[in-house]
Amino acid sequence: MATSSHDSLTQDDDRQLAELGYKPELNRSWSGFSNFAISFSVISILSGCFTSFFVGWNSGGPVAIAWGWPLVSAFILVIGVCMSELVSAYPTSGGMYFWSAKLGSVKASYYTGWLDFIGLLAITASVSYGCATFIDSTIGTFSSSWASHYSLDRVFLIFLGVLAAVALISIFSSHLLALLNNISVWWHVAGVAVIIVILLALPHHHQSVAAVFTHTVNNTGFFGGHTSGLGFLFYVLPLAAILPQYTITGYDASCHLSEETVGAADSAAKGIWKSILYSAIGGWVLMLSFLFAVQDPAKVTAAGGGVATVLTQALSPNWAGFVLLVSSVGQFFCAVACMTSITRMLYAFSRDGAVPGARYWTKLTSKQVPVYGMLAVAVLAVLLTLPALVTVDINGAPVPVAFNAIISIGVVGLYLSFAIPIFLRWRAGDAFKPGGWTLGAKYKWLCVLALAEIAVTTVIAVLPTSPGGMPGNSGFSWKYVNYTPLVVGGALILLWAAWHLSVKKTFTGPRQTIDSPTDLDTVTG
């Protein structure tokens, strides 16, 4: 009976995909839970909460994290439900660029797709590099000789190893990836719960509620380190928004895996908003456990605001190492999910002729996995992360400016790719034909709210994060520069040039690989 229901849903999925112009080629073996699991894994509060905690601490401190996380998360959920409505109507691996083509134009589709790819690439690179950093920290807590000297070169080598392992695992099969993502959900749930209990039970003392919700920090170097005044309120504090905005992203993975999901129109829609909601709640509780466990705020600030300092203050080396190990494994799961998401997006975008060398990125193995696409993503991720080899100190503390920039690139690229189809859906109004999961008339204000949040976040993400990275300052140096506007802006200029020189003559938008749904039995039989 269950098998019959599964087959019926699969046939409905394939028929809907055929109505959108595509014959089913990927293996539809993912359940609704697996679809939710990949977005939950890409969001990964064991990754973002750990690796980017320093962003919130340095740009406002506990008050920015404790209050900022739930506030920004609520806006992200608004963006998510807008995307849920879109994927229910158009459940394809192309996701946002396909939506932009259907609701707007070929040109809108082209820019949406490339912004999405840039964002996903940066997220994949940052998660893999963050995983390498925490593997290094984990080993360091158990080995005094290892921890005696921090080495950017050593971390970069571990980063290369993480990317290689992720690529190899991803090549095996789509079914194995779905299984790993299912395991990842329970690892995150159990891991976060255990970490919270440890941080509640083992530290010698905890910060007061007043300290967690009112203590401020300005470790950016701006405004003389002052934590009052308009500069702190309107420049430094907003920088902390990147912490939740970066952590709770990548949920478009549910869209990109929709062609491999059973009951995609409903499952992918729910996968998006559920992964955001559960991650927002779990992430906030986890963040509060970090803040309450801080033993010496001044030393955390002096060390650059990293969560590893909080853990080594509050716990014995063995317990700190255990927590870091749990996080590192979760981050590895996240890296695998990120690789899965971006390669499916690259496959779909290449299938429609928008990517040079498309015949390679659409080539599938016998396991129906785009192997060359994975290798290309791994190489590009390494190139994007090369600036992380440059040592940067701000106020005497080591600050990963390059890592911060990669985070911001991911935020800007992805959220701009979300904004284009959300705007087009809002513009379409009642002419939009919804799927089974719809916002109804609420789209009129939810889409506007989502677009406003994305606009504000984009401005924040391209701002200099330290005085040394602000052109015109006496201490300006390129190693301090937030290179987000250079990467994203440079990419947009290249895309504009490519569009006008040749692409507009060759890229016609999503290509149909099947003439009509009536041909479905022929192409699958």
Q: How confident is the model at residue 170 (pLDDT cuts 50, 70, 90)?
A: confident
Quick check: 525 pLDDT over 50? no
Instruction: Provide the mean pLDDT of the chain.
Output: 86
- Banded pLDDT at 457 (limits 50, 70, 90): very high
Give me the mean pLDDT over the 456-460 stretch.
94
The contacts found for 384-391 with CB under 8 angstroms, 24 or more apart, are 384/121, 384/122, 384/125, 384/409, 384/487, 385/125, 385/126, 385/129, 385/156, 385/159, 387/483, 388/129, 388/152, 388/155, 388/156, 388/159, 389/152, 389/153, 389/156, 390/152, 390/479, 391/152, 391/479
Confirm if 330 and 119 have CB atoms less than 8 A apart.
no
What are the pLDDT digits (tens) for 212-235? Answer: 999 999 998 899 899 999 999 999
pLDDT score recorded for residue 206:
96
Q: CA-to-CA distance for 462 and 489, rounded, in angstroms? A: 10
pLDDT of residue 107: 93
pLDDT tens digits along 368-426: 677 888 888 999 999 988 887 776 665 554 555 667 778 888 889 999 999 999 999 99
Q: What is the mean pLDDT of residues 427-431?
A: 94
**Residue 108 and residue 101 in contact, taking contact as beta carbons nearer than 8 Å:** yes
Q: Which whole-number Å values give the CA distances from 438 to 80, 253, 380, 451, in the listed order?
A: 12, 19, 37, 18
pLDDT in tens, 278-319: 999 999 999 999 999 999 999 999 988 999 999 999 999 999
Residue 378 or 30, more confident: 378
Residue 24 has pLDDT above 80, yes or no: no
- The pLDDT value recorded for residue 400 is 59
pLDDT band of residue 518 (cuts 50, 70, 90) is low
pTM confidence score = 0.87
Q: Percent of the chain having pLDDT more than 90? A: 47
CA 339 to chain centre: 11
The predicted pLDDT at position 410 comes to 87
pLDDT of residue 175: 67
How do the residues of the chain divide into helix, strand and coil, expressed in percent and rounded to 5? 75, 0, 25
Mean pLDDT within 94-111: 90
Q: What's the distance, CA 448 to chain centroid?
A: 22
Given a cut of 50, whether residue 134 has pLDDT beyond it is yes
Is the Cβ–Cβ distance between 276 and 248 less than 8 Å? yes
Spatial contact of 75 and 460, defined as CB atoms under 8 Å apart: no
Domains of the chain, start order = 28-515 (1.20.1740.10)
| Residue, of 328 and 143, whose pLDDT is higher | 328
pLDDT at 438 (0 to 100): 94
CA angle 98, 96, 180 (to 5 degrees): 110
Tokens of 431: 């002419």
52, 242 Cβ separation under 8 angstroms: yes
Q: Identify the pLDDT of residue 266.
A: 84
Tell me the β-bridge partners of 398. Answer: 393
